[in-house]
Amino acid sequence: MVHVKKWAAMALVLAAVALSGCGNSVSTKVETVSKSEHPVALTLDANMTALHATTIVPKISGRLTSAPLTVGQEVKAGDVVVQIDAAPYQQSISSAEAELAAAVSAAAAAPAPVYTAPAASSGDTSGRRAQIQAWYNDGALSRVEYNQMMAKATPAPVQQAAPSAPAVDSARIAQLQQAVQSARDMLGNATIYSPLAGRVTAVSDNPSVAVAGNVLATIQQMTPLVATFAVPEPYVDALQTAKQSGTLSVSVLTPDGESETGELTYLATAKDPSTGSYMAKITFNNTKNLFVPGEFYHVRISTPQEVSQITVPKTAIRTKDSGDFVYIVNADGLADARSVLTGDEEEGRVVVLDGLKEGDKVVIDPPEKLEIGMKIDT
């Protein structure tokens, strides 16, 4: 199986135009490119990412009393991953609580003011008192009886609570209560728990110190993972049809050939104008812990459904650092180079996913001395 190479720039082949082969000629075999029906079998480069990830962002600052997180460290959901020195925040709570207690005690110790209500106005009992006075004057009452009856006719003063007065600063107490709660919240933020099980994939430059609002570490879930890759345009319809019919086979491959099966969970409906391809994603369970987020791997997608594809002899494919290419014969009969995106090999022929079109003339077994600009004799 021939792995798909990354789509390479044409810098190396364009630079070769200036080589000394210009004007010379070489005899070689040429094949005119055509399409034929073949089952879809694509092996493409994919970037691996975690389906779920989280960043550890402290809400308070301080030095860590826990061991700093390290890249590659495995954590479980609910683990304490960061413990910030709590002493300064505990001191803040103690100070706020003491100030609140003092204010509350002072309010409780203040006596409630009272006042003596004046007796009822003379108009209220004047008639009764006048009658008693007349009886006394007529000699109908003794002095003792007079005093007793007059006392009953005059109500005694009543002590009542004074109207409410702002003896206690309630706003100040409310402010102190809020300060206590804020200090407790700050202390609660000194301990950070991991919200998911995963692996630490990045840490800050100084992982021993927490800075409020700054990312201290990144934790990524190791399963499931998502493989993101580009699908050449000619294969999009076939993959969509195969997914709907259940005939699509999907797997993710390690460099050693181990694999995990997955599911095509996303296929763009519009192509990327910069690449002419369609973004796709495979989601799979990393049950054997073979894959690491951030790395590149191959994905294998196949279906019995046939698609019209371009193939060329394997001998026509040449490879350099920038990727695969083929020699073609241009309209002037001269050798040129074309960067190609290659697919699977079958019976000595390689699928060309991109880079060639029907009617192109490809040198099928280029000799070592072939250079761009040489005259091609067939």
CATH of the domain at 23: 2.40.420.20
> Does residue 90 lie in a domain region?
no
In this prediction, residue 140 carries a pLDDT of 67
Number of domains in the chain: 2
In this prediction, residue 165 carries a pLDDT of 44
> Does residue 237 lie in a domain region?
yes
Copy the structure tokens of residue 343.
């697919």
Residue type, 131: Q
What is the residue-averaged pLDDT of the chain?
Answer: 84
Residue 168 confidence class, pLDDT cut points 50, 70, 90 = low
> Does residue 20 lie in a domain region?
yes
Taking each helix axis from N to C terminus, what angle separates 143-153 and 122-137, rounded to the nearest 10 degrees?
Answer: 170
Same domain, 57 and 203: yes
pTM: 0.63
Sheet strands side by side (includes 217-220): 53-56, 217-220, 198-203, 74-75
> Does residue 107 lie in a domain region?
no
In this prediction, residue 155 carries a pLDDT of 63
Average pLDDT estimate for 109-127: 58
Same domain, 294 and 199: no
Nearest to 355 by CA among 337, 373, 370: 337
Same domain, 344 and 325: yes
Copy the structure tokens of residue 366.
């280029």
- Kindly compute the dihedral angle of the four CA atoms of residues 139, 140, 143, 148, in this order, to the nearest 10 degrees: -150
Which CA distances in Å does 243 have to 14, 135, 227, 267?
Answer: 40, 118, 17, 10
Phi, psi of 278 (to 5 degrees): -115, 130
Q: The tokens 């009856």 sit on which residue? A: 149
Same domain, 308 and 344: yes
Same domain, 19 and 63: no
Higher pLDDT, 162 or 237: 237
Q: Cis peptide leading into 366, omega within 30 of 0? A: no
Residue 78 confidence class, pLDDT cut points 50, 70, 90 = very high
| Residues 300 and 246: beta-carbon distance below 8 Å | no
Same domain, 278 and 354: yes
Domain that residue 324 falls in: 11-50+225-377
Same domain, 207 and 290: no
| Residues 47 and 227: beta-carbon distance below 8 Å | yes
d(CA 179, CA 43): 62
Same domain, 307 and 344: yes
